[in-house]
Chains A and B, each alone.
Chain A
Amino acid sequence: MCYDRLGVGMTPACAQACPTESIQYGPLDELRERAAARVATLHERGVAEARLYGHDPSDGVGGDGAFFLLLDEPEVYGLPPDPVVTTRDLPKMWKRAGLAALAMAAATVAAFVGGSS
């Protein structure tokens, strides 16, 4: 669907079929601009809860490929409020595992070398 349509210069079927044009498709920068303008308009109209979700490339997951304009906290929509990509701490995890492995080897050596019985 998406891939074939994009290949011939069309928008994804969901975006084209969306009756309220809630699904928008385009270059990310342009979409970010449009979204920021929309949020500003909503705030002017008194919808203070309007916010963008997943638009920020510097968040815990490096920004989402598809971002949302929400009218409440993300969790109300079933979205995590501050997601973090699981591999962010992976180097630290391997380090801890390495330390634990060393402790294990050291404990075994001590168990066999130390003591008299």
Chain B
Amino acid sequence: MTPPGPVGDRFRRFRERLADEHSNQPSVSAPGGDLTVRRDANRRRGGRRGGGEELRVPEAEFTSYYGRPVLKPPVWKWDIAAYLFTGGLAAGSSLLAAGGQLTRRPALRRAGRVTALAAVSASAVFLVRDLGRPARFHHMLRVAKPTSPMSMGTWILTAYGPAAGVAAIAEAAGVLPRHGLLGLAGRVLPPVGHAAGLLAAGTAPALATYTGVLLADTAVPSWHEAYPELPVIFAGSALASGAGVGLLAAPPAQAGPARRMAVAGAALELYGAHRVETRLGLLSEPYQLGRPGRLLRAGRLLTAGGVAGALLGRRSRVVGALSGTALLAASVLTRFGIFYGGVASARDPRYTVVPQRERVEARRSGMDLPSDRAAPPAV
């Protein structure tokens, strides 16, 4: 950033420059060459799109107030990126556990339930840590507001968390003694766990996908414009991480559904990430460059490797466990990549200004065309 100089001085220079421009020729260049940032990517795109059509306005050079960001970057720290992973992991695990309990695959059920409880507990810690006044987290339960994804998420978690907790505690039934009070608990717990597991699985898809709305319903350009894809990526990532738990914990004979879940999850995740990295034009750039780009590329490689391992090594426990680990790691990397890609797009004013400017130009040229055909003058 330019250090703020004496105000009067700066204004005088600005006025002189204006006077110069008026006396010489009406040049198009924005005031202050040092404030102007060249936009190479736009040029590239403009060239590709141009196709011989004459542009009404010369490709705007991008400016902002002393190169400062137009937006404030998100206040969320890394714990929200971590929550994106743990929330998705909890959701995926609960779905795996419910499938395991309905199709009598105890290894999948047990691993899914225990992971879900651990992950949802970690989620709660991450979320409460992020609040301005962590001790007042229960105030989130005073309102229910459909226009606030954070409020909706609080309620989804409130429904999901206890169900996942009860389902996991019910797993203790196996180690309780047969007689006495604890024996009674041992007989009551499995059906209670069954119901709780189904309830948790019922709310799990909402838990995994609302976070896409949570990110998209902000002014952060690369999140907001990616709103059709973010829930898809997060749903896929959650499925893949849940499947990873299944591959890690279950013997190959029981892990068939986890393998198929891994394929479905990876397909959704890779499709969504590909769309986000290619469809958004300039706003795809933050997902390709720098650290977010590296995270997303590594995530993609690990997802592909994990799925390949799960399919090819279906007889080997070791290969299955490695594939599961790869899928879990891929989910972490993807979440952090999406998170930091958005943060990068908020930090650089280019991503705020240029797409909006293009929108304005498109609207203006769209309005000009009919008026050329002698339509009544608008406003």
Contact = CB atoms under 8 A, between A and B. Distances in A.
Are A and B associated in one complex?
Answer: yes
Given A78-B65, A87-B217, A115 B257 contact: yes
A82 interface: yes
A75 B65 CA distance: 7
A87 B213 CA distance: 10
B208 interface: yes
Interface residues of B, number: 59
A60 B201 CA distance: 39
B260 interface: yes
B269 to A, nearest CB: 11
B260 A96 contact: no
Max chain B Cβ within 10 angstroms of own Cβ: one of A72, A80, A98: A80
Contacts of A92: 227-228
B349 interface: yes
A106 B98 CA distance: 13
Contacts of A94: 213
Interface in A48-65: none
Contacts of A83: 219, 356
B348 to A, nearest CB: 13
B352 interface: yes
Given A82-B357, A112-B99, A89 B227 contact: yes
B353 interface: yes
Interface stretch (B127-135, B171-179, B232-240, B289-297): B232-240
Contacts of B360: 81-82
A101 B218 contact: no
B286 interface: no
A110 B63 CA distance: 51
Contact of B31 (A76, A108, A112): A76
A93 B352 contact: no
Interface string A75-105: 1111111110011011011101111111111
Given A75-B63, A117-B256, A108 B95 contact: yes
Contact of A90 (B217, B234, B259): B217
Contact of A73 (B30, B208, B217): B30
B268 interface: yes
Nearest to A99: B231
B210 interface: yes
B217 to A, nearest CB: 5
Q: Mostly helix, strand, loop or mixed at chain A's interface?
A: helix
B359 A82 contact: yes
Interface residues of A, number: 38
B102 interface: yes
A111 interface: yes
B111 interface: no
Interface in B15-70: 30-31, 35, 62-65, 68, 70
B356 to A, nearest CB: 4
A86 B217 contact: yes
A103 B314 CA distance: 25
A109 B260 CA distance: 10
B31 A96 contact: no
Contacts of A105: 95, 205
Contacts of A97: 206, 209-210, 212-213, 231
Interface of B: 30-31, 35, 62-65, 68, 70-71, 91, 95-96, 98-99, 102-103, 147, 201, 204-206, 208-210, 212-213, 216-219, 224, 227-228, 231-232, 234-235, 238-239, 243, 253, 256-261, 264-265, 268, 314, 349, 352-353, 356-357, 359-360
Given A73-B30, A99-B231, 4 more contacts: A87-B147, A97-B209, A111-B257, A111-B264
Interface of A: 72-73, 75-83, 86-87, 89-90, 92-94, 96-105, 107-112, 114-117
26 contacts: A75-B65, A76-B31, A76-B35, A78-B64, A78-B68, A80-B353, A81-B357, A82-B357, A83-B356, A89-B224, A93-B213, A93-B217, A93-B227, A97-B210, A100-B208, A100-B231, A101-B231, A103-B232, A104-B205, A104-B235, A105-B205, A108-B95, A108-B96, A111-B264, A114-B260, A117-B314
